[in-house]
Amino acid sequence: MDDGDRRAVDLVKELVHRLLSTSPSSTTTSSHQHTRLNPNPIIPSDQQYHQALRYAIRILSSRMTPSIAADESAMVESIKRRLATQGKSSDALTFADVYTKFSSKTGPGSVRNKWAVLYLLKTVSEDRKIQKHQSTSVAPNGFLSSALSGGLPELVGSESNHNLGLRNDRSKVLNNLQGYTDNSKDSRGLVGKLGKMEKGNSDGSLSDDFRSLNCVGDTSRVLRGKVEAGKGWSGGVLMVSKDPENLRDMAYKEFVNLSKEENEVSEDVLVRDVLYACQGIDGKYVKYDKNEDGYVLPDWMKVPRATRSVVRKLCELGWLFRKVKGYISESMNQFPAQDVGTVGQAFCAALQDELSEYYKLLAVLEGQAMNPIPLGSEGTCSGNYLSLRRLSVWFAEPIVKMRLMAVLVDNCKSLKGGAMAGAIHMHAQHGDPLVNDFMKRLLRRVCSPLFEMVRRWVLEGELEDIFAEFFIVSQPVKDESLWREGYRLHAAMLPAFISQSLAKQILRTGKSINFLRVCCDDRGWADAATEAAAAVGTTTTRGSLGYGETDALESLVTEAAKRIDKHLLELMHKRYKFKEHCLAIKRYLLLGQGDFVQYLMDIVGPELSEPANTISSFKLATLLESAITSSNAQYDGCDIRARLRVKMMPHNTGDRGWDVFSLEYDAGVPLNTVFTESVMTRYIRVFNFLWKLRRVEHALTGTWKTMKPNCITSHFFSKLPQAVKLQLILTSRKCQVLWDEMNHFVSNLQYYIMFEVLEVSWSNLVKEMELSKDLDDLLAAHGKYLFSILEKSLLGERSQELNKTLFVLFDLILRFRSLADRLYEGINELQSRTTETSINSGDKVKSRGKSNDKSSEPGSWLGEGRKALTQRAGEFLKNMGNDIDVIGKDYTTIFEGFISQLPVQKHIDLKFLMFRLNFTEFYSQLQPITRGKLF
């Protein structure tokens, strides 16, 4: 222990010794006076001394702090409220006056920590009151008795002689404290208060203590006068008269007269008028002023400014009540014409319930207002009366609620349904427990219709929203559009306490129920909904959900969505065979069934070569049926085969059957939810592209059959002149080379489409179908599948220029097919004419006659004999060679432009197509200048 701690302990010992000991060893004047007043002092025992010392050291060394914040104003209000509830309003006013003087003192001699003094006074008073009503086994021992029982040190004793001696020592301490202050007037006040604590009250309350503070300035004089006269002693206790000359009664009478002179109307009348105003009724003096927009006193009335201000503040409650009541009346009068809605009705009902509680409070206050306000002495005071100041205390809580209701009324005037519930919810995010509890109670009523809509939608799929209050809206659509367009979220009606993700899940759950009911004609969802409610511990009855139960709502929605979506997917796959129909579309519309496509193209080719307006759809349907029965398509189910039909596209003048022929697949309900009209349009677009690609491949195959080597025999070449033979070989070679180049392009493009595009996309679709958890996932997987096909097949929006180039190449290939057919038709005719000329060369006359007969036919090469035939054959082969050169040049130019655009495409799979087409780097070496563009 250091020197500082040792000095502190010694100081505590000395203070305890002085407080407990009444030895005449003290040399102060005060000590002599106490000795004279108590000639028989009682010296405490060593046990009492040590107990008091330990108690004092325990208090001083503890680190305990008050359990309340150091708020001086709050402490003052607490003391005044306690005095008022005990029926001692006059004491409360006296305390307020003394506290005003006490708090206004500053400078030397003033108390800095005023809150601590107030807290000490209140704590001592409460402890004394507890000690009075609490029986104890410890014998009264003045200062030590309360300490030994665990309370605060007792400052007052009334019967024991040693208590009087202890009081004398405390008087000595008071004198010492008085010497520590510089301001004599302040010191008299502080000593007077502590002296009054010495005196004490029989009931242990604060009333007499604070009443004595009213005359703190005269305490010393009264004490000295009584001591010198030797009067007023009873049992060793100095008794001082409270008001020997009735000065207080005289002061109250003067106050009453002064109040009557300054006020034309009494306070009780103003109180009744304020109560009327708080009910929206004009009183005798307090009336509603439209210009001021509030309840005010007339300007001509003689009322103190403070009273007028208090009345105006109190009448704010009436102004708020008028606003809330007006909103309720207006809303109920407009229902149902103005579509107030069920949520608006619930809001008005909740406000009306709060006003009912408010009416009960006003009834109690009106009963108290019947009692007169006391203005006389304390003896005539009645605790059950109502004044303007008391009204301000009574109205503290109601005005908070009424202000909140008025704010809600202003914010909700133009709102309804979920938007209104969301606006009220935003005001519930408040830190004040009173406001928070009030708003939660209000929101339980307001949100009840909204949560009932959610419950019915999630568990029953019913949407009864007459006034358009729900955050889910419906619109009449066809069955095939029910899932995509029948229901949607209304963001403006979505309250803040329901998240966006939860709202989407709620939407999908009810939408699934309606889809099962309307499109699938299924009732299995009811059992799934009941099982979901039982799984989360809720019921399917009305009122099972409410505000503040967001977690329960989310659990119910999640469980119901999981079970209903599972039932829906099982129905789509097992009853309606969704995967099988997707595969049928791939085989027929995407030309995946090779034998069927080949046979169909062979039998419809002659018909499609005719003008489009001359083709019969019935005949094409018959040919389609023949292609199905002649291929492996005949083993598909009747349901699938019946859905495949011929469709003729809109055509213009000059179009051929190849340009308008198409196939369509009728999925039917409910599969048309996936295979909608727009989806089938995109499928037909892919079919037209693939059909033209197959047509080009079919044309090149037919050209090869025409050009195969055994068509021109070596015997024919030996009979031709050398010049014609060279021209024939050159032209045939040109045709063969161009065919190889075109066939290389078409074969690799077809391989890319059929394997890199269709098969890979189908594999991804199958995987995503297995992972789908609801119909939205299934739709998304199919949409991704179709989008992938369009993009990779150069049919997407980003590949429009490339697609146009591709179709130009297709047209050039078809032109080449026509040119090749003309070439080999001419060669075949030349071969037949040459053979005929050789056989009949001996008979000139007959040969000439035949030549004359053939020379009249168009394209005949037998005009003037063998020389004319040779000349015309050379010209024909030369012209055909030039035409092949023109087509070859155009093809090469366009193809190089096509292949140069592939690397810049955003879709990575198109780069693999470029790699296949330019695998040997033939085009890069052919056009070195464009190498940078190609790679």
- Contacts (Cβ under 8 Å, ≥6 apart) of 109: 181, 182, 183, 186, 187
Q: What is the per-residue pLDDT for 692? A: 92
Burial-class residue 161 by CB neighbours within 10 Å (0-12, 13-18, 19+).
Answer: middle
- Contacts (Cβ under 8 Å, ≥6 apart) of 218: none
Label each residue of 257-273 as H, E or C: HHHHHHCCCCHHHHHHH
Q: Tally Cβ neighbours within 10 Å of residue 548.
A: 14
**Has residue 729 got a pLDDT over 90?**
no
Q: Tally Cβ neighbours within 10 Å of residue 738.
A: 22
CA distance readout (Å), 878 to 160, 381, 397, 649: 151, 137, 110, 41
Q: Which residue has the higher pLDDT, 143 or 158?
A: 143
pLDDT in tens, 168-202: 443 443 343 333 333 333 433 433 433 343 344 33
Residue 420 pLDDT grade (very low, low, confident, very high; cuts 50, 70, 90): very high
pLDDT in tens, 733-745: 889 999 999 999 9
**Has residue 121 got a pLDDT over 90?**
no
Q: What is the per-residue pLDDT for 489? A: 93
pLDDT in tens, 81-111: 888 777 787 888 888 888 888 887 777 767 7
Q: What backbone phi and psi angles, to 5 degrees, belong to 415?
A: -115, 160
| pTM score | 0.64
Q: Using alpha carbons only, what angle is made at residue 448 by residues 444 and 451, rounded to the nearest 5 degrees? A: 115
Helix (H, G, I), strand (E, B) or coil at 656: strand
Structure tokens given for 133:
């009503």
Q: What is the per-residue pLDDT for 771? A: 93
**Has residue 807 got a pLDDT over 70?**
yes
Please give the torsion angle defined by the CA atoms of residues 811, 814, 815 and 817, in that order, rounded to the nearest 10 degrees. Answer: 160
Task: List the end-to-end C-alpha distance of the chain, in Å, as a whole number.
Answer: 91
**Has residue 213 got a pLDDT over 70?**
no
**Has residue 125 got a pLDDT over 90?**
no
**Has residue 889 got a pLDDT over 80?**
yes
Peptide bond into 670 cis (omega under 30): yes
Paired strand residues for 488: 473
Nearest in space to 405 (alpha carbons), one of 437, 438, 430, 432 = 438
pLDDT in tens, 681-727: 999 999 999 999 999 999 999 888 887 765 454 556 666 677 777 88
pLDDT in tens, 9-53: 777 777 777 777 644 333 333 344 444 444 455 566 777 777 777
pLDDT in tens, 224-249: 343 333 333 333 333 444 555 566 66
Q: How much is the average pLDDT of 323-345?
A: 82
Structure tokens given for 144:
């030590």
Residue 837 pLDDT grade (very low, low, confident, very high; cuts 50, 70, 90): low
Helix (H, G, I), strand (E, B) or coil at 464: coil
